Amino acid sequence: MAGKIEDESNDRVPLRLRPEWSDVTPIPQNNGPNPVVPINYSEEFSEVMDYFRAVYFANELSSRALSLTAEAISLNAGNYTVWHFRRSLLESLKVDLHVEREFVERVASGNSKNYQIWHHRRWVAEKLGLEARNSELEFTKKILSIDAKHYHAWSHRQWVLQTLGGWEDELNYCSELLAEDIFNNSAWNQRYFVITRSPFLGGIKAMRESEVLYTIEAIISYPENESSWRYLRGLYKDEATLYVNDTQVSSVCLKILRTKSNYLFALSTLLDLICLGYQPNEDFRDAIEALRTSDNEEQDSDIARTICSILEQVDPIRVNYWVWRKSRLPQAA
């Protein structure tokens, strides 16, 4: 406790004791006659917000107001009213937005999982225009180097690419991240974003062949990786016939099934293929037969049913789902 008081006296002089604020009358929070679910505010919080209310209500467009918004943001970075007022101040005081970018970076270093910070960052980048492209890509890269699945950072990055450009290196960047962690689903999603939306790559049709090869290699290395299987399916989005007929897909399923380990996704993918019309040959029947355990002895009438039965055994968390999938299979002729 003593330490806390010492810290406060070192760090912060209350606004009411600062000469530059002596002319301002703070506006206390009006909680109304009967407040419920009250918050236990600290003195500092109450004071800063009381002064904030005063400058906001007076629409005081001053540099002291700008520094007050920084104090208020440090106490509640989600306060969109404060951020909005700060933007009015930045505009009317004609503040160099490069400096503002550094401010955002400092706030983000404390807590980057906050929508308002990113909304503000986007506003600054929009104002700066094309020249902001590289700094924004670098900024998100920095955040992603700490947390490679940071949702806000990815969202900002996608916005930068779509608005300011910078697509040229993005596929390489995805490959780098996936080389670091092939289970990074955010990087797989970004990869999909790039191959479907980059103006330089010709779209999914042009990219499919090379992407299928890349993905199959990833699947073979880690067949338990949900992300790569979903990406493979995504490469054939709205192209069910192509998906069913591309032997690369069925082959990788067979290859994994034959290893008899980590084959859940291979099995469910094969089931989906069959439901879409794929006709498995003897090789598949043998591989599936080899996975049957003594527990499921009753003979299923067709391979799809057998797959469901195996999944019921090896994926017990979702046993009811596989039973349901089985119940919806067309009756064998």
Partner 1 sequence: MSSSEEASSMETTTIDKDLHVTFAQMMYHLLPNPYESQEINHLTLAYFVISSLDILNSLHLVEKEAVANWVLSFQVQRGTTNDPNNGQFYGFHGSKTSQFPPDENGVFHHNNSHLASTYCALAILKIVGYDLSSLDSESMSSSMKNLQQPDGSFMPIHIGGETDLRFVYCAAAICFMLDNWNGMDKEKVKDYILNCQSYDGGFGLVPGAESHGGATYCAIASLRLMGYVEDNVLSSCNLSSLIDLPLLLDWILQRQGTDGGFQGRPNKSTDTCYAFWIGGVLRILGGCNFVDNKALRGFLLSCQYKYGGFSKFPGDFPDLYHSYYGFAAFSLLEESGLKSLCSELGITNMAANGV
Positions annotated as catalytic residues are: 113
Q: Are 153 and 114 in contact (CB under 8 A)?
A: no
Nearest to 232 by CA among 261, 204, 258: 204
Task: Check residue 140 for interaction with partner 1 (CB under 8 A).
Answer: no
Q: With contacts defined by CB under 8 A, how many residues of the chain interact with partner 1?
A: 64
Among 62, 135, 155, 296, binds partner 1 (CB under 8 A): 155
Task: Check residue 192 for interaction with partner 1 (CB under 8 A).
Answer: yes
In the Cβ-directed half-sphere of 235, how many Cα atoms lie within 13 Å? 25
Q: Are 139 and 122 in contact (CB under 8 A)?
A: no
Cα–Cα distance between 243 and 265 in angstroms, integer? 16
Among 7, 70, 102, 115, binds partner 1 (CB under 8 A): 115
We find the least distance from the C-beta atom of residue 286 to partner 1, in angstroms, to be 26
- Find the radius of gyration of the CA atoms of the chain: 29
Among 14, 35, 202, 203, binds partner 1 (CB under 8 A): 35
Q: Are 242 and 203 in contact (CB under 8 A)?
A: no
Cα–Cα distance between 44 and 40 in angstroms, integer? 12
Task: Check residue 135 for interaction with partner 1 (CB under 8 A).
Answer: no
Residues 258-277 binding partner 1 (CB under 8 A) are: 268, 272
Residues 40-59 binding partner 1 (CB under 8 A) are: 40-42, 45, 49, 52-53, 56-57
Q: CA 313: distance to chain centroid?
A: 33
Q: Which residues bind partner 1 (CB under 8 A)?
A: 29-32, 34-42, 45, 49, 52-53, 56-57, 75-82, 84, 115, 118-119, 122-123, 149, 151, 154-155, 158, 183-186, 189-190, 192-193, 197, 225-227, 230-231, 233-234, 237, 268, 272, 316-321, 324
